[in-house]
Structure 1
Amino acid sequence: MSFFDKMFASVGIGAAKVDTILTNDRLIAGDDVSGKVVILGGKIEQEIDEIYLKVITSYERERDDKKIREECVIGKYRLTDRFTIRANEKREVPFSFELPIDTPVSYGKTRVWVETGLDIKNAIDPSDRDYIDVHPSTLMSQFLNAVTDLGFRLREVDCEAAPHRLRRRLPFVQEFEFIATKGEFRGRLDELEVVFLETSHDRMDILLQVDRRPTGLGSLFSEMLNLDETNLRLTVTSAEIPLIKEKLLQILRKHS
């Protein structure tokens, strides 16, 4: 092992490389994420402390009256103990883990990825990023379909920082913002915001914010004071799928 090869490897030149190959990149939260991590040895032998995988997304929060984006680790998985990768050696490490049930879906501005890293002592750690396409569960899809069937159009989806009382394990919630473009709620509601707090494929807690459209001076003052907004919480289950649209309709009629 030459001195120069060791020195260059410490700054990433001629060092080990990592590449993750996913079996499937189209997933639903709760599915198994599987594949293999391929490690290619560099010009010198190196000691790998561990291989890890992280599921990551980003969310928006305010700091000093400015909106910034921060990354959030949804899950981290350790694949190996310490081992040595020889020069030019190729090693494959299979893996499988469950995508956390609270992983946001890949709608709007939301991006989710799997990041692979090698921890190498006294060297720059190589990494790899693979984006995954997270689809809504059947229960979430049915609720979203009910919203659009009632005349709403999806305007924006993003992950935003939220206080503890409105979230669970993660520091953010994923907000779905709808506007009424047809049907009985056009002209009656400014917007409808939906947040899913999924607990399983068969049960889901949902937060709704119903924003009524001002129709007079009193309503205008209410809007200025945010009194035109109604915050609701409901739970739906797979057994209620045929009733979701009617259940949502009655809620919106009552609060519009």
Structure 2
Amino acid sequence: MVFKRLLGSLGVGGPSVDTVLDPGAVAPGGALTGRVHLKGGEADFTVEHLTLELVARVEAEHEDGESEGSVAFGRYEVASGFRLVAGEERSVPFSFPLPWETPITELYGQGLGVVLGVRTELGVAGARDRGDVDALAVRPLPVQEAILEAFGQLGFGFRSADLELGHIGGTGQRLPFYQEIELAPAPAYAGRVEEIEVTFLAGPDGMEVVLEADKRGGFLSEGHDELSRQVVGHHGVGQVDWNAEVGSWVRELVERRAAYGSHSSYDSHSSYGHADGHGYGHGHGAGHGSGHGSGGPGMGTAIAAGAAGLAVGVVGGMVAAEVVDEVGDFFEGDEEAEDED
């Protein structure tokens, strides 16, 4: 990319910048590495800062419906205070950790339709210029992968994944948005719930798993949403029977939803809600640690079985390529909107 908007006003050719991420997807909490290649323009410049910004395409609900926009969820200065002379070529390596709550964009190499990117920002002459956005691929943590695989083994199917602006009350959520992975119900729950939504809120010491059961009401009844929360650890993933664990979560959630529909009141402790103030049922705060349960299939078995599980039904093979193409177009349009403002 050539930073023409900023440096063109100075009457000189600007430097070109090319950010290259190291190959492969990165897990939440893992190090994002790569290099920023710079080539000097027609004059010498002092680069005040070279910054990489993590951005996400996020949906927001409001009275008029839904809208989409970009949200920055991390800024990292990778270099500052150096002279870039005319025509000079320089390569700046970088390495920084992704936030633990970074959404996952793929499962077993198949894209989920979530759009994340890394945007390069160059600060020169007291101004800043934002360049192109490079697509960011994020793979699940082992415990996330195990839980999603268990859903697949239990008969749930992937529908979609998106990022929602807002905060889930009663959780330790840190980012200004959260990811929802929407699953079609397994045959055993058909007719009882329309879908199960899964949200992962990971941290260095463990992860909250928020499950939401949603069945939209028909002509004569209102729909109800139920939300529950489980806590799991990062260690001992291969020693947990995740099919049994996840199955118990879903049964409890669906049964409590049924109880909610047939009784006028019940325990309101440990409730969870979204930032918009609309309640989403009653959460279950009892943590299920990574050591809960034993004798289940190891991770190798689960991954091998993934071909018959959730991974196959994630999305069509074209989605990953489409998302890569979409990243630049989406954030470029967003950047143009900012310029007009």
Once residues 126 and 232 of structure 2 are traced to their aligned partners in structure 1, the CA distance between those partners, rounded to angstroms, is 52
Once residues 10 and 213 of structure 1 are traced to their aligned partners in structure 2, the CA distance between those partners, rounded to angstroms, is 55
Residue number in structure 2 paired with 1:71: 70
- 2:189 aligned to which of 161, 167, 185: 185
Contact 1:10–1:122 (CA under 8 A) maintained in structure 2: no
The AA in structure 1 aligned to 2:122 is L
Shift in CA distance, 145/100, structure 1 to aligned 2, threshold 3 Å: same
SS in 2 for 1:133: coil
Contact 1:57–1:74 (CA under 8 A) maintained in structure 2: yes
Shift in CA distance, 114/255, structure 1 to aligned 2, threshold 3 Å: closer
Deviation at 1:13, TM superposition (A): 6.1
Deviation at 1:239, TM superposition (A): 2.9
Shift in CA distance, 12/115, structure 1 to aligned 2, threshold 3 Å: farther
Residues 1:204 and 2:202 aligned together: no
**Bigger proportion of residues as strand:** 1
Once residues 192 and 102 of structure 2 are traced to their aligned partners in structure 1, the CA distance between those partners, rounded to angstroms, is 33
Once residues 126 and 210 of structure 1 are traced to their aligned partners in structure 2, the CA distance between those partners, rounded to angstroms, is 41
Once residues 245 and 12 of structure 1 are traced to their aligned partners in structure 2, the CA distance between those partners, rounded to angstroms, is 64
Contact 1:42–1:87 (CA under 8 A) maintained in structure 2: yes
The AA in structure 1 aligned to 2:230 is L
Shift in CA distance, 60/91, structure 1 to aligned 2, threshold 3 Å: same
Residue number in structure 2 paired with 1:168: 173
Once residues 178 and 119 of structure 2 are traced to their aligned partners in structure 1, the CA distance between those partners, rounded to angstroms, is 21
Shift in CA distance, 12/110, structure 1 to aligned 2, threshold 3 Å: farther
Deviation at 1:255, TM superposition (A): 3.6
Residues 1:236 and 2:232 aligned together: yes
Deviation at 1:196, TM superposition (A): 0.6
Percent identity between the two aligned chains: 30
1:71-90 to structure 2, matched below 5 A, reads 71-90=70-89
SS in 1 for 2:19: strand
Residue number in structure 2 paired with 1:62: 61
Deviation at 1:189, TM superposition (A): 2.1
Deviation at 1:251, TM superposition (A): 2.8
Contact 1:12–1:124 (CA under 8 A) maintained in structure 2: no
1:25-36 to structure 2, matched below 5 A, reads 25-36=24-35
State the Cα RMSD in Å: 2.6
Contact 2:114–2:163 (CA under 8 A) maintained in structure 1: yes
Deviation at 1:38, TM superposition (A): 1.2
Gap runs ≥5 in structure 2:
1-5, 107-111, 255-341
Once residues 53 and 11 of structure 2 are traced to their aligned partners in structure 1, the CA distance between those partners, rounded to angstroms, is 21
Deviation at 1:70, TM superposition (A): 2.2
Runs of 4+ in 1 over 4 A off after TM superposition: none
The AA in structure 1 aligned to 2:162 is D
Residue number in structure 1 paired with 2:136: 132
SS in 2 for 1:134: coil
Residue number in structure 1 paired with 2:247: 249
Deviation at 1:117, TM superposition (A): 1.6
Deviation at 1:80, TM superposition (A): 2.0
**Bigger proportion of residues as helix:** 2
Deviation at 1:212, TM superposition (A): 5.0
Gap runs ≥5 in structure 1:
1-6
CA-to-aligned-CA distance 1:207-252 (integer Å, 9 cap, x gap): 11123587x99xx53xx1x4x3321111122336523221221232
Residues 1:95 and 2:94 aligned together: yes
Residue number in structure 1 paired with 2:159: 155
- TM-score with structure 1 length normalisation? 0.83
Shift in CA distance, 191/65, structure 1 to aligned 2, threshold 3 Å: same
Give aligned pairs, total.
241
- TM-score with structure 2 length normalisation? 0.64
Shift in CA distance, 34/124, structure 1 to aligned 2, threshold 3 Å: closer
The AA in structure 1 aligned to 2:47 is I
Once residues 71 and 78 of structure 1 are traced to their aligned partners in structure 2, the CA distance between those partners, rounded to angstroms, is 20
Residue number in structure 2 paired with 1:113: 117
